[in-house]
Amino acid sequence: MTSVARFFDLQVNGYAGVDFQDDSIEVEDLHRACAVMRGHGVVAFLATVITQDIDVMSRRLRRIVELRQRDELAREMIVGIHIEGPFISPLDGYRGAHLKRCVRPADVGAMAQLLDAADGLTRIVTLAPEHDANLATTKYLADHGIRVSAGHTDASLDELSAAIDAGLSLFTHLGNGCPMHGMHRHDNIIERALSLSDKLHPMFIADGAHVAYPALRNYIRAAGVDRAIVVTDAVAPAGMGRGHFTMGNWEITIGDDLVARAPDGSHLIGSAIPMPIAVQRLIENVGLTLDEALRLTVENPRKLLGLSGPTISMHIDTTLVGGTARPPAKAGAM
């Protein structure tokens, strides 16, 4: 893609070899991640912190806030924080790669601790409505002006509807965070969410592996291009091209399709697709027009957060060619 881009990414766990879950992250690391994303057409994103013990998540949130304050580019690009977990389903398949021992029911006190650590930067919280007793945490977040997103959930239609009445307005990476096998072929969390897409903004990962392109085409058609949003859900090796990487306790292999997998190919480990390649694949594999693809990656997320965003324009970095991302010059293996 060579067109001007101003992408807004609502779910970024790391980039360019930098893991936002890494307790040893330094300001130079955060700057590098932002700089590489800027070169790939991203002007704003939500740094995402995922399930861990509450104290660990709080420490990581405080660290991101601190480092962001110390770097001008990070302050400009990190327009908020997305907290994904720990209030999600503990069930295998629905839990995804989140640590089972750290998953817990929603609790307003614990949520308040996380919000305090994020120092006013929290924009989205992903939780499972069926594990939020009386929807107290959903209501608490909505009352504080924070977007609540269902994710890693097997909420019933009634539970989703009640959560929407309490303030739920998004669905995190729909089509993922659910079992590959064993779900009812009709009454499942994907169909339930899509049936409520006039009230929810579904977010999707557009790498073709997290959701196969024929299914993604159907999902976007059902939700409508004015409501659907595409995120990368990028993990640390994103933007570094093909290779083998170590991320925490995970060994990750990224192939020519830029999908992050276990070395044996048995399962996915996050996403490694840069946003401009996602846009290219939305056009080539899903059949969207450029205008429609940019609505999903620029306009819709920007409007959701109520942001005008930076007014700069740029052309996507020439290290992104032919649908394959090549490693940035200074980004080493993790």
pLDDT of residue 319: 46
What does the alpha-carbon distance between residue 243 and residue 4 come to, in Å, rounded to a whole number?
Answer: 28
Please list the helix, strand and coil fractions of the chain in percent, rounded to the nearest 5, in that order: 35, 20, 45
pLDDT score recorded for residue 177: 79
Q: State the pLDDT at residue 269.
A: 80
The pLDDT of residue 251: 87
Greatest alpha-carbon span in the chain: 51
Query: pLDDT digit string (tens) for 164-185?
Result: 999 999 999 999 877 777 788 8
257 catalytic, yes or no? no
Which is it for the CA torsion 33, 113, 10, 44, positive or negative?
Answer: negative
Return the pLDDT at 264.
Answer: 82
Name the residue ranges covered by the structural domains of the chain: 7-325
pTM over 0.85: yes
Cite the DSSP H helix spans in the chain.
27-39, 54-70, 72-77, 108-117, 136-143, 157-166, 189-195, 213-223, 275-281, 290-294, 300-305
> Catalytic residue among 19, 132, 233, 317, which?
233
- Residue carrying the six token digits 């977007």: 147
Q: What is the DSSP letter of 15?
A: E
State residue 2's pLDDT score. Answer: 47
pLDDT tens-place string over residues 42-82: 999 999 999 999 999 999 999 999 999 999 999 999 999 99
Matching CATH number, 7-325, of 1.20.120.1760, 3.20.20.140, 3.40.50.150, 3.40.50.300: 3.20.20.140
End-to-end Cα separation, the chain, in angstroms: 27
Give me the sign of the Cα torsion angle 145, 232, 90, 55.
Answer: negative
Tokens of 123: 């924009």
Q: What is the DSSP string of 259-279?
A: EEE-TTSSSEEEE---HHHHH
| C-beta neighbour count of 180 within 10 angstroms | 9
Give the position of tokens 């893991």: 19
Q: Sign of the C-alpha dihedral, residues 197, 140, 302, 75? A: negative
Spatial distance between the Cα atoms of 312 and 141, rounded to a whole number of angstroms: 32
Which residues of the chain fall short of a pLDDT of 70? 1-5, 308-334
The predicted structure's pLDDT at residue 315: 52
